[in-house]
Amino acid sequence: MKISRRDALQLGAVAGAGALLAGCSRLPGSTRVLPASVELPPGPTQPAVRVLNRLGFGPAPGQVAEYTATGYAAHLERQLAADLDEPWDLTLRLRRLEVYAFEPGDLVNFPEEEVLRQLQQAAILQAVYSPNQLRERMVEFWSNHFNIHGRKGHAAFRKGRDDTSVIREHALGTFKAMIRASAQSPAMLFYLDNQFNRRGVPNENYARELMELHTLGVHGGYTQEDVREVARCFTGWGVETRAYRYGRGRFRFDPDLHDHRPKRVLGHTIDGGGIKDGFQVLDLLATHPSTARFLATKLSRYFLGEATTDAVERGSKAFLSSGGDIRSTLRALLTEQAVLEGPPIVRRPVDFAVAALRALHADTDGGKGIQDHLEAMGQPLFQWPMPDGYPDKSEAWTGSLLARWNFALALTRGDTPGTRVDLDGLLGFNPGEKSAARIVSLVHGEHPETPTGSRLASIFGARPDPTEQAALALCAPEFQWR
Amino acid sequence: MKPHNDWWSCDGGGPTPASRRTLLKSAAAGLAALLGGSSALAQVALTGSEKERDGDILVVVFLRGGMDGLNAIVPFGDSAYYGLRPGLGIGGPDSRSRPVSERALDLDGYFGLHPALGPLLPYFKDDQLAIVHAVGSQDRTRSHFEAMNTMERGLDSQSGGTASGWLARHLMAMPPRTGSPMRAVALGSIMPDSLRGGTGAIAIQSLDEFRLEANGRSPEVVERALAELYRTGSDPMTAAGRDTLKVLDAMRKLSPGSYRSEGAPYPNSDLGAGLRQVAMLIKADLGLEVAALDKGGWDTHVAQGTTSGWLASLLEDVASSLHAFASDIGPTMKRVTVVVQTEFGRRAYENSALGTDHGRASCLFVLGGGTRGGRVYGDWPGLADEKLEEGDLRVTTDYRQILAEVLEKRLHNAATERVFPGLSAQPLGIVA
């Protein structure tokens, strides 16, 4: 008897299941285990898909059913708690990355390209495989909010530390603690030139972006005089440049470089003295009503697709009354109705690629193979030069479609080094037209009998090759939105 | 053989109805040569040339980060300049204390070109290059993003309400000159604000790479399926998908990899590569109307250098890229206008790190066959302490006056008030 490729794979799958039971290769908690059922639950699935697209990077196989069983309120609380176990193989892979394991000073011996590659790898792996998807969304949000260009002034070597101790540490914590951490992050201080900000010779770059982009927003009510005064408050905030035993490369406040004369910021006298001047400014900004509005507006656009008066009110009120607690702000902002009713949001390239990898249950190393495509699509991570982060307007990304199509074609064909998609396993070995219906449900979360589902299934079904069907599913306009 | 440049010598001037037939014939021949005799390609070009060529192609180069206009176009005649910039000032053409190579190149006895802009001097002398000094917007935030966004939307300050870009509004106001799928290109991976909110604009990083990597499948078959997926729908992504498919079709016939420049070599930089591709599109006659390019890196807060160093190398790239472009397209510059702008200038005084912080006015360049060049335009506000605005060079010319004049006179847009709402036009006479 001749064994076809499909049969062989099916046998392999059975063997794999056996191994899993025996505790051999596919241990529970691994990112590679396909859930027992990847079928869509009966009934409309669009609300579930919308929620998983907005509070995370899109559904992986089986998640629509899982969410439907859980319900919105419990799902949101679980995601806000962000305490789901990380898959062991994700943890192992991250542990191997020097950008996390090494002190910035020790990383200097690595080529900058390798450091940037690992930073991106860490971001991609966690976005694809972490079950704490809302935290990963917030990490994406804050990484753009506190954007650092890895190619400016060796920032790449310091960004790993910024990623763990500023962005990830506080992604769902309090804004006050986060802004303090960011202000003492060597990566940020270097990126915005604050190491050149000294008594008598202030450099305004950090002070300006701190108010314009990190806290108050450009119309938040500060003046050019405030910028100059805040710059003076942060004189002497820099990075240790002395020998290794002093902690070279870490944050250092140098009182000799600090401007000790009195300052006035937003109508307040700043008289903390020394490093406390800066802390006083940060606390003032972190709890300012303009900051609450600015963040609520940005978060609304990011999660809901628009900043309605109502949403901004809800968000900023919760922000202020909770003392800048990010969980409370999100809880107030992300009502089920607001998430379901907002307009569609264009997936930026990273969002698109991660959603594709999740939908197709890809086995990826998050490495160069994926990163080269992200670059072609216009969003190489940690490489946006300006401090405002990657743009969020749809029109900014209309030029990236060809690169998205090329990614979809390469991914489904197995031409993306370091990434593998097992379409045969995913499609349940259904030959022919059935695979089209299966792909519509996997990638678009649509039952093939809905209007969208049947339109897509009939276009995909006209091609015999399942890899081509899957490529088209990722190329479709529907998959460019979340 | 230089077919594309010879089109324009056939009647000695711009296109006239009488010369149209000749023009079409030589254009087709030129394209056929460029495209290796592909008749399909010649057909694209012919369709493109059916209509009157009734306006320039506009190339906008945006210098992002805030170009230091005071060191690019040096006001050596203003004695306050050297007081404000004891460490960074560029010596005037007669400054004995510096070697000749480190002095500004005299333009009109008062202003001088930064020596790194030397490749542009012949264009100034030949009246093809005009410079406007003390130009800017009324945005006073000194924020890169606000200032860029203001300019790219064509506003005087952020208080104006329109969300679309000025180039997009121009394209919307003008009937397409041809049925080209590529009325406007942005050379880069991201669509700039100036082209947002319009149609027919596409962002391309590199024309060489603008193809579907079908990975063993037939690109035509994949494109047919994509066309089905993108057939209906008016959201920005679906509309962009249709435009992308049309451009793919045109590009397949072009083979950009084999393009040879006919002028000075392009520098090995993003701007050089971008302008090289714009030149190719212009010569291929694909119906291009507007091209937008960026050059970043002008945020010179620290150690910006004088006649060498950071700023000098940026300026040198701009000058040699523009020179390569102008010499490559040759006589076709008659119907091309290049505008080089930046969001704001730098503080008039240098900072302690031998850099300059965000300021107000900067300068702007207009290059092209229709430019009334050889002059530094604008109303010089002066650098004496009492003339400065919070320590910055005052803005005396609204940048929109120049853009509006270029659109009206060179691109034949009769409704520039729709592109720049609220602007009362006071043309400088900078283009013919």
Q: What DSSP assignment string belongs to B73-129? A: EE-TT-THHHHH-TTTPPBPTT-TTS-GGGBPEESSSS-EE-GGGGGGHHHHHTT-E
CA–CA distance, A443 with A68 (Å, rounded to integer): 17
Please check whether residues A236 and A159 belong to one and the same domain: yes
Of B197, B217, B237, the CB nearest to A401: B237
Please check whether residues A153 and A270 belong to one and the same domain: yes
Phi, psi of B36 (to 5 degrees): 65, 35
Please check whether residues A247 and A110 belong to one and the same domain: yes
Q: Does A151 touch chain B (CB under 8 A)?
A: no
Give the number of other CB atoms < 10 A from CB of residue A300.
24
Tens digits of residue pLDDT in A228-268: 999 999 999 999 888 777 777 889 999 999 999 999 999 99
Phi, psi of B267 (to 5 degrees): -65, 155
Q: Hey, are the CB atoms on B301 and A459 less than 8 Å from each other?
A: no
**Does residue A79 sit within a domain?**
no
What DSSP designation does B54 have?
-
- The DSSP code sequence of A338-382 is HHHHSPP-BPPHHHHHHHHHHHTT-EE--SHHHHHHHHHHT--TT
Task: Report pLDDT for B162.
Answer: 61
**Proportion of chain B above pLDDT 70, given as a percent:** 84
Q: Does B245 touch chain A (CB under 8 A)?
A: no
Task: Report pLDDT for B145.
Answer: 85
Q: Hey, are the CB atoms on A406 and B146 less than 8 Å from each other?
A: no
Phi, psi of A23 (to 5 degrees): 70, 30
Phi, psi of A369 (to 5 degrees): -55, -45
CA distance B6 to chain A (A): 34
- The model's confidence at residue B198, banded by pLDDT at 50, 70 and 90, is low
- Taking 50 as the threshold, does the pLDDT of residue B44 lie above it? no
Please check whether residues A254 and A324 belong to one and the same domain: no
Please check whether residues A132 and A46 belong to one and the same domain: no
Please check whether residues A374 and A467 belong to one and the same domain: yes
Task: Report pLDDT for B301.
Answer: 94
Domain finish residue from A286, A303, A324:
A286
What three-state secondary structure class fits B290?
A: strand
Chain A contact probe: residue of B143, B167, B299 with most A CBs at under 10 A? B143
Chain B contact probe: residue of A402, A444, A452, A458 with most B CBs at under 10 A? A402
A347 vs B contacts (CB less than 8 Å): none
Of A196, A388, A481, the CB nearest to B302: A196
**Proportion of chain A above pLDDT 70, given as a percent:** 93
CA–CA distance, B319 with B267 (Å, rounded to integer): 10
Task: Report pLDDT for B26.
Answer: 36
Give the helix ranges, DSSP H, for B253-285. Answer: 270-284
Task: Report pLDDT for B180.
Answer: 67
The secondary structure of chain A, three-state, reads CCCCHHHHHHHHHHHHHHHHHCCCCCCCCCCCCCCCCCCCCCCCCHHHHHHHHHCCCCCCCCHHHHHHHHCHHHHHHHHHHCCCCCCHHHHHHHHCCHHHHCCHHHHCCCCHHHHHHHHHHHHHHHHHHCCCHHHHHHHHHHHHHCCCCCCCCCHHHHHHHHHHHHHHHHCCCEHHHHHHHHHCCHHHHHHCCHHHCECCECCCHHHHHHHHHHCCCCCCCCCHHHHHHHHHHCCCEEECCCCHHHCCCCEEECHHHCCCCCEEECCEEECCCCHHHHHHHHHHHHCCHHHHHHHHHHHHHHHHCCCCHHHHHHHHHHHHHCCCEHHHHHHHHCCHHHHHHCCCCECCHHHHHHHHHHHCCCEECCCHHHHHHHHHHCCCCCCCCCCCCCCCCHHHHHHHHHHHHHHHHHHHHCCCCCEECCHHHHCCCCCCCHHHHHHHHHHHCCCCCCHHHHHHHHHHHCCCCHHHHHHHHHHCHHHHEC
What DSSP designation does B42 have?
H
- Taking 50 as the threshold, does the pLDDT of residue A25 lie above it? no
Lowest mean pLDDT among A31-35, A294-298, B125-129: A31-35
Q: Does B86 touch chain A (CB under 8 A)?
A: no
- The model's confidence at residue A431, banded by pLDDT at 50, 70 and 90, is low
Quote the tokens at residue B390. 């919070």
CB A410 within 8 A of CB A419: no
**Does residue A213 sit within a domain?**
yes
Question: For the whole model, what pTM was predicted?
Answer: 0.77
**A22 vs B330, residue with greater confidence:** B330
Q: Does B205 touch chain A (CB under 8 A)?
A: yes
Phi, psi of B227 (to 5 degrees): -60, -35
Task: Report pLDDT for A246.
Answer: 77
Q: Does B141 touch chain A (CB under 8 A)?
A: yes
B180 alpha-carbon distance from chain centroid: 20
Please check whether residues A64 and A188 belong to one and the same domain: no
CA–CA distance, B288 with B177 (Å, rounded to integer): 9
Tens digits of residue pLDDT in B326-353: 999 999 999 999 999 999 999 999 999 9
Please check whether residues A402 and A313 belong to one and the same domain: no
- Name residue, tokens 């809905």: A450
What's the complex ipTM? 0.88
CA distance A477 to chain B (A): 6
Phi, psi of B376 (to 5 degrees): -100, 110
CA distance A76 to chain B (A): 30
Please check whether residues A53 and A131 belong to one and the same domain: no
CB A293 within 8 A of CB A300: no
CB B135 within 8 A of CB B395: yes
What three-state secondary structure class fits A265?
A: strand
**Does residue A81 sit within a domain?**
no
CA distance A198 to chain B (A): 9
Quote the tokens at residue A39. 């079928």
Sign of CA dihedral A139, A141, A147, A150: positive
Across residues B375-391, what is the average pLDDT? 96
Of B209, B225, B241, the CB nearest to A463: B225
CA–CA distance, B304 with B162 (Å, rounded to integer): 36
**Number of structural domains in chain A:** 4
CA of B228: which chain A residue's CA is closest?
A: A459
Lowest mean pLDDT among A182-196, A427-441, B359-373: A427-441
Give the number of other CB atoms < 10 A from CB of residue A40.
23
Residue range(s) defining the domain that contains residue A331: 289-341
Task: Report pLDDT for A42.
Answer: 83
- Taking 70 as the threshold, does the pLDDT of residue A37 lie above it? yes
**B242 vs A336, residue with greater confidence:** A336
Please check whether residues A137 and A268 belong to one and the same domain: yes
Cβ-Cβ contacts under 8 Å for A446 (sequence gap 6 or more): A45, A46, A440, A452, A453, A456
Chain A contact probe: residue of B140, B211, B215 with most A CBs at under 10 A? B215
Comparing CA positions, the residue from A50, A131, A76, A56 lying closest to residue A333 is A76
CA distance A66 to chain B (A): 30
**B213 vs B45, residue with greater confidence:** B213
Please check whether residues A302 and A395 belong to one and the same domain: no
Q: How many CA atoms lie within 13 A of A379 on its CB side?
A: 27
Of A377, A399, A468, the CB nearest to B204: A399
**Does residue A82 sit within a domain?**
no
Q: Hey, are the CB atoms on A395 and B358 less than 8 Å from each other?
A: no
- The model's confidence at residue B159, banded by pLDDT at 50, 70 and 90, is low
**Does residue A262 sit within a domain?**
yes
**Does residue A83 sit within a domain?**
no
**Of all residues in chain A, what percent are helix, strand and coil, respectively (each to 5)?**
60, 5, 35
Q: Hey, are the CB atoms on A201 and B353 less than 8 Å from each other?
A: yes
**Does residue A78 sit within a domain?**
no
- Most confident listed range (A18-32, A276-290, A435-449, B161-175): A276-290
Please check whether residues A455 and A386 belong to one and the same domain: yes
Task: Report pLDDT for B158.
Answer: 67
Q: Hey, are the CB atoms on A218 and B141 less than 8 Å from each other?
A: yes
- Name residue, tokens 């040699």: B320
Give chain B's domains with CATH numbers: 1-53 (no CATH), 54-206+261-419 (3.40.720)
CB A51 within 8 A of CB A445: no
